[in-house]
């Protein structure tokens, strides 16, 4: 029986790119929601019973709309909580007694990014889930991390921050959204000058996943650009590359009720343990948009 990798959330931006670039696509299981609903324990159990060949799971599945999640704050029956927390719990319950390696995809927003506990955050930075200091999305993802680490000491958690990709038609990423907004409206909303952050190149995320699959290392890993920057610095470079100037990029102040102010993910231990190198945000933007032009 050939070993299989179960990929949840395989139609998403990052999961879809992983499936597209993986060297042995026939080794992947990418079930649709109607046959594998993570929020329903019976659905998860039935799928594992009918696929005993699963040896690895990569859990990309998540509710990631931060703004919509915030409207659900405090509601454990909400889609955000059910997918991110209950879904992860159902998945872990199926894995805990089996020799299955889990790679769980997480986010920088599990950290508050506030003055009492500012980033950037290294891989060993402790979690402290607090509804009053995290967004609802970040809080549910932090709970999910705790579920994984408490039950599966052999699992890997991979933290991402603002993933960007060359092409993904279903959803605009961190760079394409402001470009699209400007094209449609002829102006751009204010861009934060006071938020500390970085970005993740989706192709570099896939390189990390390839290394984790090869080495089956446990622990927490981060995939993000090698530098810590600001949205304003990123957007000025982006609009310079695409339009030849950044006159439309106006400074603004971060809304700390929706976004961490002092965020960012450090990844030195990930680089060392996986023997890879992350690009800077400038290199990522240049790679994606260096020859860009608008029709």
* CATH number of the domain bearing residue 34: 3.40.50.720
Residue 128 is assigned to a structural domain of this protein: yes
Instruction: Kindly state the helix (H) or strand (E) to which residue 219 belongs, with its residue range.
Output: strand 219-223
Angle of helix 202-215 relative to helix 13-21, nearest 10 degrees? 60
* Cβ 124 vs Cβ 107: under 8 Å: no
Q: Look-up: residue for tokens 């390189």?
A: 207
* Cβ 237 vs Cβ 282: under 8 Å: yes
Residue 106 is assigned to a structural domain of this protein: yes
* Cβ 198 vs Cβ 276: under 8 Å: no
Closest CA to 43 of 8, 18, 10: 8
Task: Find the distance separating the first CA and the last CA of the chain, reported in whole Å.
Answer: 51
Q: What is the DSSP letter of 224?
A: -
Quick one: pLDDT at residue 241? 96
If one counts the domains in the chain, the total is: 1
Q: Cis omega (within 30 of 0) on the bond before 120?
A: yes
Low-confidence ranges of the chain (pLDDT < 50): 293-295
* Structural domain span for residue 148: 4-168+199-224+265-279
pTM comes to: 0.96
Quick one: pLDDT at residue 294? 47
């Amino acid at each position: 029986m050939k070993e299989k990798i179960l990929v949840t959330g395989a139609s998403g931006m990052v999961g879809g790119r992983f499936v597209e670039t993986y060297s042995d696509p026939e080794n992947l299981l990418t079930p649709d929601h109607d046959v594998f609903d993570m929020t329903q324990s019976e659905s998860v159990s039935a799928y594992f019973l009918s696929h005993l060949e699963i040896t690895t799971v990569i859990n990309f599945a998540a509710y990631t709309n931060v703004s919509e999640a915030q409207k659900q704050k405090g509601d454990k029956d909400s889609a955000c909580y059910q997918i991110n927390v209950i879904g992860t719990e159902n998945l872990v319950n199926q894995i805990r007694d089996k020799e299955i390696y889990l790679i769980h995809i997480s986010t920088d927003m599990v950290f508050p990014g506030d003055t009492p506990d500012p980033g950037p955050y290294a891989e060993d930075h402790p979690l402290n889930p607090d509804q009053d200091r995290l967004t609802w999305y970040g809080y549910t993802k932090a709970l999910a991390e705790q579920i994984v680490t408490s039950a599966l000491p052999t699992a890997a958690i991979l933290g991402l921050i603002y993933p960007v990709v060359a092409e993904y038609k279903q959803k605009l990423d961190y760079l394409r959204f402001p470009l699209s907004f400007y094209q449609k409206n002829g102006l751009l909303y204010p861009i934060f000058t006071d938020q500390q952050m970085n970005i993740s190149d989706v192709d570099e995320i896939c390189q990390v996943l390839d290394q984790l699959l090869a080495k089956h290392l446990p622990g927490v890993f981060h995939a993000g650009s090698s530098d810590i920057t600001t949205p304003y610095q990123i957007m000025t470079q982006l609009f310079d590359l695409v339009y030849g100037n950044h006159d439309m990029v106006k400074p603004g102040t971060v809304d700390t009720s929706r976004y961490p102010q002092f965020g960012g993910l450090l990844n030195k231990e990930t680089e060392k343990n996986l023997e890879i190198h992350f690009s800077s945000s400038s290199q990522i933007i240049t790679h994606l948009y260096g020859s860009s032009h608008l029709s």
